[in-house]
Amino acid sequence: MRRLAILLSGRGSNFVALADGVDSGKIPDAEIVAVVSDNPEAPGLAIARERGLPAHALPRESGMTRAVHEGRIRRVLDAAKPDLICLAGYMRIISPELVEAYPGRIVNIHPSLLPKYPGLHVQRRAIEAGDQESGCTVHYVDVGIDSGPIILQKRVPILPGDTEETLSARILEQEHVVYPDAVNMALAEVSSRP
């Protein structure tokens, strides 16, 4: 079985798309071995518990350094022995140490056609720029922000009258399609490495 770990901070709809993919066999021979959130109130974490998945709330408590916080996350991940770590709306920057601990084994989904619009509020930025299209990207995580090698992208049109909300919803629908496909590709790639 291929082992997936999920890191999330909020709603968790991309996590659900991956969990559904595992359950339906769209992501075959895989299991979710850890769902980790820096936000104990994340709806995605509650969904993980409801689904009987190993769910870990690891908040960065006041006074806790980033290194100590990430060390806690790292211990949970190391114990879960994931083949692939999937960021699914995880709102913290992954340190170079964590990236290097799992080289080429961390993937992220981002709601723009990278390399255009890394960072936050990217749907609004695409509308404000007058772009005619947007989309989503699944990529390997490197030490930069939303900058690693691209695995898959999906385009969507930006329509007249679109708001940040309507465009985000149109992109999100495609995120849920593309993320399981990209995870399959990344798992195949990871397992083909010497």
Active site residues: 110
Buried b (16+ CB within 10 A) or exposed e, 179-189: bbbbbbebbee
CB 51 within 8 A of CB 19: yes
Q: What binding mask, one character per residue, do residues 94-133 give for ligand GRF by CB under 6 A, x or -?
A: ---------------xxx----------------------
Smallest CA-to-CA distance from 45 within 91, 36, 186, 180 is with 36
Q: Is the Cα torsion angle 72, 48, 17, 185 positive or negative in sign?
A: positive
**Integer Cα distance of 56 and 7 in angstroms:** 10
How many positions of this chain bind ligand GRF (CB under 6 A)?
15
**Integer Cα distance of 57 and 38 in angstroms:** 6
CB 182 within 8 A of CB 4: no
Pick the stretch among 7-15, 71-79, 99-107, 180-188 that binds ligand GRF (CB under 6 A).
7-15
By C-beta, is 105 or 110 nearer to ligand GRF?
110
CB 187 within 8 A of CB 173: no
Pick the stretch among 9-17, 24-32, 61-69, 113-121 that binds ligand GRF (CB under 6 A).
9-17
The reply to whether 89 sits near ligand GRF by the rule CB under 6 A is: yes
Site for ligand GRF in 37-76 (CB under 6 A): 44
- Name the residue with the smallest CB distance to ligand GRF: 89
Closest contact distance (angstroms) between CB of 5 and ligand GRF is 15
Site for ligand GRF in 155-174 (CB under 6 A): 172
Phi and psi of 7, rounded to 5°? -115, 125
The reply to whether 92 sits near ligand GRF by the rule CB under 6 A is: no
State CA 38 to chain mean position distance: 14
Closest contact distance (angstroms) between CB of 175 and ligand GRF is 5
The reply to whether 148 sits near ligand GRF by the rule CB under 6 A is: no
Q: Which residues bind ligand GRF (CB under 6 A)?
A: 8, 10-14, 44, 88-89, 109-111, 136, 172, 175
